[in-house]
Amino acid sequence: MWFVPFLFGILVATILIWTLRLFGHKEIVHNFMTSIQKCNQFGFQQNSVMLNRTSTFRRMILGQGLRQNSGSIISTLIGMVSSACDQFSTPNVAFYENKIPAKPNEEYIEEILIKWPGNYTKLQNIATYIQWLFPNRMPGTNKDAHVLTDKEVTIFQQSPELRNRVKRSFEMMLDFYGLKLTEENQIQVKKGSNKRLKVLNKMNNHNFLCITRILLALKELGHCKLMRPWMKCLADLIYNKNQLHHAKFSFESFWIDTLDAEDQLYIISLIKNYSV
């Protein structure tokens, strides 16, 4: 019944807009409709019928012409609504900015990055957080998480602060898998963590699917340079050291496809060398 509050909101907004129109505040109505459309674009992308209704509605109102008149309190309120819309229309950015918590577990990114590393019991329960930490274009099993949008990708790629947090999330997961990122951005097996690698090798496809998700997120969120070293390390473990042979299917069916053509050729030539 998710649509009940939604419809109620639309009803309230409609009444508000028509009241404003009645009193000649068309400029405010214009701003209001623009911010609603912004929300629509991001929050209700699937519901294009609703989007169309709003646009028709907007045209109807704007067709009447604007009057240079604005009540300042209402303008301020609309400003607040529209900045709230902006924040929530980019939920993945808001999460990585430490402004909203992941759902359903209600934890903020900084809490996660400080408390979770090394807590393998916690990290084992991936379904609840992996989509928040590593968002991509595909919806996953957590209905409270959000797919990544073009707007969000641009924001991530331009923000050193956000990119740094993504890198810390990645390092937390590497540690969970028994790996580590060196200062030269290479990926190695962490000393004394053969047990973690054994756990990873036993893991089912669901967990290997997470690695696909992380690879895709690295690509989108400004860390595509980390993909090749990670795949190099995984290829070494699967084809050379035989410590991660259960991941072979995922490696060949999913992981390799996340790379760009140049990286793919590089990794494939590595594997060929191993089998000689």
Ligand X SMILES: *[C@@H]1O[C@H](CO)[C@@H](O)[C@H](O)[C@H]1NC(C)=O
Cβ closer to ligand X: 44 or 88?
44
Least distance (Å) between residue 123 CB and ligand X: 9
Cβ closer to ligand X: 56 or 253?
56
- 176/246 Cα distance (integer angstroms): 17
Least distance (Å) between residue 48 CB and ligand X: 4
- 8/163 Cα distance (integer angstroms): 38
- 100/118 Cα distance (integer angstroms): 24
- 187/172 Cα distance (integer angstroms): 13
Binding site for ligand X (CB under 6 A): 48-49, 52, 119, 121-122
| Inter-residue contact 78 to 34 (CB < 8 Å) | no
Can you list the alpha helix ranges (DSSP code H) found in 178-247?
194-202, 205-220, 227-235
Least distance (Å) between residue 185 CB and ligand X: 29
Least distance (Å) between residue 212 CB and ligand X: 25
Cβ closer to ligand X: 53 or 272?
53
Cβ closer to ligand X: 112 or 174?
112
Q: Which residues pair with 187 in a beta bridge?
A: 181
